[in-house]
Homo-oligomer: A and B are copies of this chain.
C-alpha cells in the first residue's frame, strides 16, 4: 500500500486506473498536484455544504443541528473515498498545498458560532458559555476526533469518538435537561 503523496507515481496510478496519459494531462495539465488540490477543495466544499444545510434547517434547534451535522460528516468519512482522500492529503501533505490545505477552513468558527447563538437564544446553552470560545472549542474537538481516529485506526473509531463528542457537548456547554432532537424523536 502506497500512502505517501510524494511517492505516488502518476504513470503507475493511471495504468492501474485504466486512464491514458494523454487524456489525463489534457484535463489536468499540471498533473498530480492539481488532482490533489481538486480533491481537497471538493472535500472542503462538501463539508461546508452539509454544515450550512444542517444549520439552516428551521425544524431543528441549534444544538441538535450541530449533532445531526456531526453524524452526517462521520457517515461521509466512512462512505466516501474522496472525503477520506481529502482529509488524508491535508493531514499528511499540507506543505504541498498551502493555498487550499487549511484545518479548519477560516469559515468554520463563524458558521458553528451561528448555530450556538441560535442555541443560546433557545435557552439550551449553559449561562456562562461564550459562543465565540465554544465555537472554536467545538471545531478543535472535531479536528481532534478526526485526527485521532485517522491515526489510530484509519477512522474506524470515528463513530465512537462522535458519541464521545456528543456526550461532552451535553455535559459541558448544553443547559441542564437539554435532549438532542434525535433522542426526543426516539421517545
Contact = CB atoms under 8 A, between A and B. Distances in A.
Interface of A is mostly: helix
Interface string A68-94: 000000000000000000000011111
A171 B125 CA distance: 11
Contacts of A25: none
A97 to B, nearest CB: 10
Contacts of A5: 4
Nearest to A131: B171
Interface residues of A, number: 45
A157 B104 CA distance: 13
A144 B4 CA distance: 22
B103 A151 contact: yes
A148 interface: yes
Interface string A138-165: 0111111101101110000000010011
B171 A102 contact: no
Given A3-B95, A4-B93, A103-B147, 11 more contacts: A92-B92, A103-B148, A129-B172, A130-B167, A133-B167, A133-B171, A134-B168, A134-B171, A143-B144, A144-B144, A171-B173
